[in-house]
Amino acid sequence: MNKKTVFSKFVPALLLAVLCLPPSMRGEAAVADNPFLVPPNTPFQTPAFDRIQISHYLPAVQEGIKRHQAEIDAIVNNPKPATFENTIVALDMSGQLLGDVASVFYSLLGAVTSPQMQDLANQLSPLFSAHNDNISLNEKLFARVKAIYDRRTKLKLSGVQLYLLENTYRGFLRSGALLDEKQKARLRDINREHSLLALKFDDNLLAETNGSYIVIDNKADLAGLPESVMAMGEETAKAMNMAGKWVFTTQRPSWTPFLQYAENRDLRKSLYSAYFMRGDRDNDKDNKAVLQKLLTFREERYRMLGYKTPAQFYLEPRMAKTPEAVHEFLMRLWQPALERAKSEAVEMQKLIDAEQGGFKLAPADWWYYAERLRKAKYDLDDSALRPYFQLENVQKGVFSLVEKLYGLKFVERKDIPIYHPEVKVFEVHEGNGTLLGILYMDFFPRDSKQGGAWSGAFRTSFYQNGKRVIPFSTLVCNFTKPTPGTPSLLSIDEVSTFFHEFGHSLDTLFTDSVYRSNFAPQDSVELPSQIMEHWVLEPELLKVYARHYKTGEVIPAALVDKLKKSSLFNQGFETVEYLAACFLDMAWHGLESALNVNVTRFEDKVMAAISLIPEILPRYRSTYFAHIHGGYEAGYYSYIWSGVLDADAFEAFKETSLFDKKTAASFRKNILAKLGTEDAMVLYKRFRGREPKVEPLLKKRGLL
């Protein structure tokens, strides 16, 4: 997931709101030793994490607001007629300090949060919301932007300049620039309350995830679990002051292997229930009412802007354009995937019946019996693969791939400050030695980290005074942790996740835009990440990174062959559980009113409408579906929409060579360096010579 910060750099001052903070939260507006306000004495002026304290954020935000307001005032009060340079470019370049502070704060809020960070987020979020409103609802500023937009056909603008102008103008319209004063006042209230609810949703989810686990005190109940999984449960228990027991959590590295291997069905059901009931326990961390309020605010907001539903608003600037187009696309995949899933369920039920299980296959059983069938069909199981995927070796494989494709070199730095001891930092160089950017990688789960995996940035690249400002990319995951005597051994899914998130980092590192703004459609942003997954099982690359952690032996060709033959195994389930969540996301955002909607009954109704079989639940239920408000609103379908792009784009490599530098150079030049600076389909056709075809995706998933 390419996790975007919830902060927008177009944020003007709201000093009165800042002054309304409690005295204990204010600090001084300028602090001489604040690492945000003084150029840090760090390599490349990377964030001074060795000095940054929570108390530094607010003074830095105050100063950032002050500087940004001066920049906005200068644009608005410029006596000269509005031009592209003195208005659009000036606006694009404004708010750099505020943007840098917010990027660090919100990145760490997801990776190393704390009650103090969460409290501060609740103070800052409505301020940032108000700042955004003060910019987007500034009538004089909008008048200048509109004046340029209205005569755009008479200006000699490049494609990139025109794209920036059009999207800047559209951003004002979509933020309420044409509303009357009463509507604008209401919009401010909605945006402020919505920002707080989004934080509450995430805080509740983190608390529910940390508090959802099972404790085992009888070793006999561990039957079926590989030694590495038992060791992980033992270490988790020790960390929770329960030495002598085993704890399995709802974090994926713990949850998935337990469901795959544990023979005790009741315990599997207990852990599965702990996972899918998060945020739905009618306690103080329940997310049902929070979600309803979020959606209700969105509905009111977008009705004021002239849209019938939130889905219509969110989809307008994307490649899909309309809810109808998304639904048609999803249904094209749904029917063959559902039929495949039904046949998979039949196979599993036959296995249960043959063993005289005496029960009907349930959602909590799927991983266990899928693993049993995979082993029976392909003599392949996850525990046999993990020893060949030591984290450090997989990292070597990723680095090797991008060196083959793009000539990149990586140099680890031990002297660049980090925000947590587990973080690794690298300089990323071009083949000619030019510094491309800095990469931070943070691999393991902890109580202070949100679940999942994402890539973002402490700073994105742009040009200042003709010189490229290098980006600071972040890659954050929740991989299987090492245990005493055993390194971090990844599942094949975790290996794919590493390659995936690294693709997002490449997108950040390669971006080569004169301007700071990026307008990549949400349903295109997974192209850079998902294409990387296609190389995971390529034999030439496997020789580099797939080596047994004890013997150094390269993964046997026979095992790789089994992996490839099994690549379509369980694809019905994987596609169906994902698509079901897409339908759920679209259904929520397709409502004209979520007020008083019963969350559980609504989910059941949506699943019944698409005839989801009872053996499968959607990948995300509403109460822990963070994508619904985390940048993928009415956009969870984006992964598979981008899947059409990445599968078709990979065909370009297959038509030449999987490591063809010419094809890679074209992909970098037209996609990785420019996505978000021009129309996404124009860029894709520039790379591929035509629009993408859906057949490669259908073939890849065994649906054709």
What secondary structure, in 3-state letters, does 51-74 show? CCCHHHHHHHHHHHHHHHHHHHHH
**Across 633-649, average pLDDT:** 97
Single-letter residue type at 668: R
Specify the pLDDT at position 20. Answer: 31
Beta strands in 201-284 (DSSP E): 213-216, 246-249
CA count, 13 A, side-chain hemisphere, 136: 28
CA distances 249 to 180, 229, 693, Å, are 50, 12, 41
Q: Is the pLDDT of residue 532 over 80?
A: yes
Q: Is the pLDDT of residue 26 over 80?
A: no
Report d(CA 643, CA 221) in Å as an integer. 40
Give the position of tokens 């972040």.
Answer: 474
Q: Tell me if 452 sits within 8 A of 496, measured CB to CB.
A: no
What's the alpha-carbon Rg for the chain, to the nearest Å?
Answer: 25
Higher local confidence (pLDDT), 28 or 431: 431
**Across 683-702, average pLDDT:** 94
Specify the pLDDT at position 567. Answer: 87
> 223: Cβ–Cβ under 8 A, 6 or more apart, which residues?
262, 263, 264
CA distances 38 to 18, 67, 304, 458, Å, are 21, 14, 43, 17
Q: How many CB atoms lie within 10 A of CB 686?
A: 14
Alpha helices in 277-388 (DSSP H): 288-304, 310-315, 323-354, 366-378, 382-385
> What is the tally of helices (H) and strands (E) in the chain?
28, 9
Burial call 341-354: b when 16+ CB within 10 Å, e when fewer: beebbeebbeebee
CA count, 13 A, side-chain hemisphere, 414: 0
Here the contacts of 306-314 (C-beta below 8 Å, separation 24 or greater) are 308/592, 309/589, 309/590, 309/591, 309/592, 310/589, 310/590, 310/591, 310/633, 310/634, 311/586, 311/589, 311/590, 311/634, 313/174, 314/522, 314/589, 314/633, 314/634, 314/635
Specify the pLDDT at position 127. Answer: 83
**Across 557-582, average pLDDT:** 94
Q: Is the pLDDT of residue 8 over 80?
A: no
Domains of the chain: 15-136+138-174 (1.10.1370.40), 212-276 (no CATH), 323-376+569-700 (1.10.1370.10), 386-535 (3.40.390.10)
Element at 513 (helix H, strand E)? none
Q: Tell me if 425 sits within 8 A of 412, measured CB to CB.
A: yes
Report d(CA 192, CA 197) in Å as an integer. 9
Report d(CA 91, CA 102) in Å as an integer. 18
Report d(CA 419, CA 440) in Å as an integer. 10
Specify the pLDDT at position 639. Answer: 96
Beta strands in 34-188 (DSSP E): none
Beta strands in 443-535 (DSSP E): 454-459, 462-464, 467-469, 472-476
Specify the pLDDT at position 31. Answer: 57
> 525: Cβ–Cβ under 8 A, 6 or more apart, which residues?
2, 504, 507, 638, 642, 675
Average pLDDT, the chain: 93
Specify the pLDDT at position 2. Answer: 61
Element at 48 (helix H, strand E)? none
Its pTM surpasses 0.85: yes
Specify the pLDDT at position 1. Answer: 65
Place 204 in a pLDDT band, splitting at 50, 70 and 90: very high
Specify the pLDDT at position 62. Answer: 85
Q: Tell me if 88 sits within 8 A of 148, measured CB to CB.
A: yes
Specify the pLDDT at position 33. Answer: 87
Q: Is the pLDDT of residue 550 over 80?
A: yes
Percentage above 90 pLDDT, the chain: 89
Burial-class residue 210 by CB neighbours within 10 Å (0-12, 13-18, 19+): middle
> 611: Cβ–Cβ under 8 A, 6 or more apart, which residues?
338
**Across 573-591, average pLDDT:** 98
Whether 208 is catalytic: no
Considering only CA atoms, which of 9, 12, 305, 6 is closest in space to residue 135?
12
Q: Tell me if 280 sits within 8 A of 599, measured CB to CB.
A: yes
Burial-class residue 28 by CB neighbours within 10 Å (0-12, 13-18, 19+): exposed
Report d(CA 390, CA 553) in Å as an integer. 12
Strand partners, 215: 247
Percentage above 70 pLDDT, the chain: 95
Q: Is the pLDDT of residue 387 over 50?
A: yes
Q: Among 21-25, 390-394, 584-588, name the one with the lowest average pLDDT.
A: 21-25
Report d(CA 138, CA 168) in Å as an integer. 13
**Across 221-242, average pLDDT:** 96
What is the 3 state secondary structure string of 389-451?
EEHHHHHHHHHHHHHHHHCCEEEECCCCCCCCCCCEEEEEECCCCCEEEEEEEECCCCCCCCC
Choice among 501, 533, 577, 603 that is catalytic: 501
DSSP letter at 482 equals P
Place 485 in a pLDDT band, splitting at 50, 70 and 90: confident
**Across 24-40, average pLDDT:** 66
